[in-house]
Amino acid sequence: MSIQFRPMQKADVPRIAEMERLCFRSPWSENSLLGELKNNIAHYRVGEIDGVIMAYGGMWVMYGEAHITNVAVHPDYRGHGYGKKLMENMIETALLHHAVSMTLEVRISNTVAQNLYTSMGFEVAGRRKKYYTDTGEDGLIMWNNNLPAYKRAD
């Protein structure tokens, strides 16, 4: 199955909000997602297979940095490398908007995501105590400080 990426549109928001509820304990609301469409520094990407949105990610790009806000793959599509393809697409998008570095937070318990990010040139740069208010879990701060080099290595 081939995945295609494109910018998020208003009509995508109900499906993405549904995925938020499936994937996260503290999901973003439809209103929050709609607000991101009006945010000049926000760039949201959706991944589709046969016209069905099965992954999405969002980031804010400013001052040469991209900050990942959301990344999700629908549970029915996990384990097929789509998360990596989504992150690669987000890196490409960040580079188009002149970002040279990218950061994100990830749950301490989410070793699958940590391994993916590490394989893509991200390194742990710190820890946010009790970052996830739904569980009180710490978040790892990860950075890739050289996006152009990652893309060249691809």
- Tally: H helices and E strands in the chain: 5, 7
**Which candidate in 77, 105, 131, 137 is catalytic?**
105
What does each of the 154 residues of the chain score in pLDDT, given as a tens digit? 689 999 999 999 999 999 999 998 889 999 999 999 999 999 999 999 999 999 999 999 999 999 999 999 999 999 999 999 999 999 999 999 999 999 999 999 999 999 999 999 999 999 999 888 888 889 999 999 999 887 666 5
Active site residue 48: no
Active site residue 105: yes
* Gyration radius of the chain's alpha carbons: 15
**Which candidate in 82, 117, 132, 150 is catalytic?**
117
Q: Is the pTM of this model over 0.85?
A: yes
Residue whose structure tokens are 């995925």: 19
Which long-range contacts link 110-114 to residues 24+ away (Cβ below 8 Å)?
Answer: 113/71, 113/83, 114/140, 114/142
Task: Decide the pairing of beta strands 4-7 and 42-49.
Answer: antiparallel
